[in-house]
Amino acid sequence: MTANRTPVSEDLRRLAAAHGVATSYRNERREPVEVDADVVIRVLGLLDVEAGTEADRRRELTRLEERDRAGVLPPTVAVRVDGRPQPLPGAVSLVGEDGARIEVDDELPGDLSPGWYRLQTRDGQESTLVAAPPKVPSAPATWGWMLQLYALRSARSWGIGDLGDLQEFVNWTATEHGAGAVLLNPLHAPGPTHPVQPSPYTPSSRRFANPLALRIEDIDAYRRADADTRAEVDALRVSATTERIDHDLVWAAKRDALELLWRSEGRPDALADASEGLRDWATYCALAERHGGRWSRWPEALRDVAGPAVASARDELAPRVAFHAWVQHRCAEQLVAVRDAAHEAGMALGVLHDLAVGVDADGADAWALADVLATGVSVGAPPDNFTPRGQDWGLPPWRPDRLAATGYAALRDMLRAVLSHADGLRIDHVAGLWRLWWIPPGDGPDRGTYVYYDADTMLAVLALEAHRARATVVGEDLGTVEPEVTEALADNGMLGCAVSWFTRDQTDPGEPLLPPAKWPARAAASLSTHDLPTAAGFLRGEHVRARADLGLLDDVPGEQANADKERGEWLAMLRSEGVLPADSSEPDEAAIIAGMHRLLAATPSQLKLISPYDVIAEPRQPNLPGTVDEYPNWRLPLPETLEQLRADPRVAEITAAFREAE
């Protein structure tokens, strides 16, 4: 414990444990780190627990003890249904989603169907019961692509890759190459105002889709429009050959085009049968257009989604609200069309969507779901060797107590929305289902601590919604992950992740690269990810040069030496596995990259994913962690159009290796 930390007293430690607030943790070297008592008190306060004085702590501990003695049922109970009766003392009835009542007598029936129930007890208590299957649907063994959709431009694109491009890509790679899956970057919705947030991992909403991905000409209203309207829409088209993807330019053009088409249809009211969530989203968009994209700066009365001022504003802005709801209906239609195209083309798995770890603190979900989010808090990561000051991701976390009190409805609805047009889901930073590093308002990442979630319930909600959508689940478990996370992924039938740069023999002090035969079977395996060097970037040392040029490295020679060492290890591995000649001559880059893919194809991993960035030797990675505007994150198009990609012989060569390995 360092000298500047105030130690945590025993009563504070007990109270923090009762509310899931960590008073100590292990860092990336597995060394124990004590959390400052003041940080623990502040985080407890964010959960509405007064803990500043000894009297406060005694009072709260007494309340918790009395609750436990009284046998108060938790507000949400999760069970796994496996065909066997399960004891549930005090339970007298369940009410299903259809209103049907099931009488129980201290025991859940063995034939209980997976679903959401209202649980009632003999003493009059009520709770939400999540009855989930033991595992998520299993994933077939297959291979496929992982795409940054915005970067996949074609001759028909409006300056950005769209869902029409994706549908063409799916048909092509499934029928010609036998690909069984496509994993996409998050397609969550950014805010409707400029500047448009380019990062797919900082969305305004995870419940709704990004309208920048719409193929305008595939909308039925475009096909029905008269010639003059279509010509007016066509004139808005953005060139597909810009050097950088200009999200603001694309949104301005597509928004104008969508408004033309909406008006041509008679300004339909898409709110007639809209969910509460869609009403909130569309209302947020209309209010953001009038008051700016940061809701925390709106007039105070408009910050309460359930307040009378918002209801009045919704009526006043009804045309704009209806327009934004109409746009989301068009997004849903095209997303479903892509999924259906994957099925029709014979993909073994289909389309997987990526779920970001959180949302913009000033975005639509943070406004509409403020009752279940921790106000003013952001999540990130504690200090470590790589980031000595820690990381602040600027994303507000769920409040575990509010999730439980509301029956995990917000988590359920978010998962249901994404899975409604997906065959699978990749969960970014899956360890966030267990714990997140909370940074109190006004503090830096070094003044935070972990807050734990009810992982059993979170996983049960996930398993239930995945079961209903018949969707497989991949958990991104890279980096420092607690053992229980890895174990739970396996127990729940979820795939983990394996990335070539990190797949080493942890039992060997020298940590050599693992040969392909020893890669994990229960994994989605790839050479790289959007946050890591591409194959060409790795071989050329681009990941060192880019960071050095931006002043992000303290020891450039050391980093370069390490990069050279890793490159040498890969060449040695490729030679030992027989995919490169055993002589000492320097192979060309194309041969090395092809060899890397042949190694990936030879692994036993259940899902093998390749990236256009690697296949066509693009040296620049999509995102450079530690930068915002210093590097063109999320703005780099692929150097080849979809048409060029289809004709590139490297694609045929590398995909053949995966077909042959099946």
pLDDT digits (tens, 9 = 90+) for 402-461: 999 999 999 999 999 999 999 999 999 999 999 999 999 999 999 999 999 999 999 999
Average pLDDT over all residues of the chain: 95
**How many domains would you assign to the chain?**
2
Distance CA 647, CA 596 (A): 21
3 state DSSP class of 52 = coil
For residue 186, the one-letter residue type is P
**Tell me, what's the pLDDT at 283?**
98
**Tell me, what's the pLDDT at 481?**
83
**Tell me, what's the pLDDT at 628?**
87
Within this chain, do residues 43 and 63 fall inside the same structural domain, yes or no? yes
Domain end residue (candidates: 87, 115, 132):
132
Nearest in space to 411 (alpha carbons), one of 343, 462, 452, 446: 462
Task: Check pLDDT > 90 for residue 114.
Answer: yes
Cβ–Cβ under 8 Å, residues 3 and 18? no
DSSP H helices, 498-621, are 535-540, 542-549, 556-576, 589-601, 612-615
Distance CA 68, CA 163 (A): 53
Distance CA 451, CA 436 (A): 6
Query: Cα–chain-centroid distance for residue 113?
Result: 29
**Tell me, what's the pLDDT at 519?**
95
**Tell me, what's the pLDDT at 2?**
44
Residue at token pair 């305008």? 216
User: What distances in angstroms separate CA 288 from CA 221, 317, 475, one per listed residue?
Assistant: 26, 11, 34
User: 3-state SS of 356-383?
Assistant: CCCCCCCCHHHHHCHHHECCCCEEEECC
Q: Is residue 56 part of a domain?
A: yes
Task: Check pLDDT > 80 for residue 551.
Answer: yes
Within this chain, do residues 60 and 32 fall inside the same structural domain, yes or no? yes
Q: For residue 302, what are its two tokens?
A: 């408009």
Within this chain, do residues 122 and 95 fall inside the same structural domain, yes or no? yes
Nearest in space to 57 (alpha carbons), one of 22, 18, 20: 18
Task: Check pLDDT > 60 for residue 604.
Answer: yes
Q: Is residue 532 part of a domain?
A: no
If phi > 0 it is left, if psi is from -120 to 50 it is alpha, else beta; for residue 360 that is beta
Can you state the angle between helices 308-316 and 318-344, rounded to 10 degrees?
A: 80
Q: Is residue 50 part of a domain?
A: yes
Cβ–Cβ under 8 Å, residues 479 and 430? no
Can you state the angle between helices 318-344 and 276-291, rounded to 10 degrees?
A: 120
Domain end residue (candidates: 112, 132, 152):
132
> Which one has a higher pLDDT value, 479 or 141?
141
Cβ–Cβ under 8 Å, residues 334 and 295? no
Distance CA 5, CA 385 (A): 20
Q: Is residue 83 part of a domain?
A: yes
Residue at token pair 């004139």? 235
DSSP H helices, 235-317, are 247-264, 276-291, 308-316
Cβ–Cβ under 8 Å, residues 497 and 524? yes
**Count of C-beta atoms within a 10 Å radius of residue 65:** 11
Within this chain, do residues 60 and 86 fall inside the same structural domain, yes or no? no
Cβ–Cβ under 8 Å, residues 488 and 458? no
Compute the CA torsion angle 421, 424, 430, 432 (nearest 10 deg): 20
| Main-chain dihedrals φ then ψ at residue 238, nearest 5 degrees | -95, 140
Q: How confident is the model at residue 1 (pLDDT cuts 50, 70, 90)?
A: very low
Cβ–Cβ under 8 Å, residues 424 and 473? yes
Compute the CA torsion angle 609, 610, 612, 614 (nearest 10 deg): 140
Cβ–Cβ under 8 Å, residues 132 and 467? yes
Distance CA 339, CA 353 (A): 11
| Main-chain dihedrals φ then ψ at residue 143, nearest 5 degrees | -135, 165
Q: How confident is the model at residue 149 (pLDDT cuts 50, 70, 90)?
A: very high
Distance CA 629, CA 418 (A): 29
Distance CA 232, CA 492 (A): 52
Q: Which residue range(s) make up the domain with 20?
A: 10-70
**Tell me, what's the pLDDT at 517?**
93
Distance CA 340, CA 593 (A): 33
Distance CA 411, CA 441 (A): 24
For residue 222, the one-letter residue type is Y
Task: Check pLDDT > 60 for residue 310.
Answer: yes
Contacts of 475 (CB under 8 A, 6+ apart): 426, 427, 430, 485, 489, 494, 495, 496, 497
Residue 145: exposure state from Cβ atoms within 10 A (0-12, 13-18, ≥19): buried
Cβ–Cβ under 8 Å, residues 378 and 439? yes
Within this chain, do residues 116 and 66 fall inside the same structural domain, yes or no? no
Query: Does an H or E element contain 473, and which?
Result: strand 472-475
DSSP state of 388: T
Domain end residue (candidates: 42, 70, 98):
70
Q: How confident is the model at residue 3 (pLDDT cuts 50, 70, 90)?
A: very low
Q: Is residue 122 part of a domain?
A: yes
Nearest in space to 391 (alpha carbons), one of 39, 627, 44: 627
3 state DSSP class of 178 = coil
**Count of C-beta atoms within a 10 Å radius of residue 223:** 10
DSSP state of 203: -
Distance CA 82, CA 88 (A): 15
Q: What is the mean pLDDT of residues 292-304?
A: 97
Q: Is residue 86 part of a domain?
A: yes
Within this chain, do residues 21 and 37 fall inside the same structural domain, yes or no? yes
Q: What is the mean pLDDT of residues 361-390?
A: 91
Q: What helix, strand, coil percent values describe the chain, rounded to 5?
A: 45, 15, 40
Task: Check pLDDT > 80 for residue 505.
Answer: no
Q: How many residues does the chain have?
A: 662
**Tell me, what's the pLDDT at 507?**
64
Q: pTM for the full model?
A: 0.95
What is the tens place of the pLDDT at every residue in 241-281?
899 999 999 999 999 999 999 999 999 988 888 899 999 99
Distance CA 13, CA 36 (A): 11
Q: Is residue 264 part of a domain?
A: no
Nearest in space to 191 (alpha carbons), one of 122, 291, 112: 291
Strand positions, DSSP E, 97-160: 101-103, 107-108, 115-121, 126-132, 142-147
What is the tens place of the pLDDT at every residue in 50-105?
999 999 999 999 999 998 888 888 999 999 999 999 999 899 999 999 999 999 98
Q: Is residue 99 part of a domain?
A: yes
**Tell me, what's the pLDDT at 189?**
98
**Tell me, what's the pLDDT at 273?**
82
Per mean pLDDT, which range of 4-8, 141-145, 150-154, 482-486 is the poorest? Answer: 4-8
Q: What is the mean pLDDT of residues 579-594?
A: 89
Residue at token pair 């150097």? 639
Task: Check pLDDT > 60 for residue 234.
Answer: yes
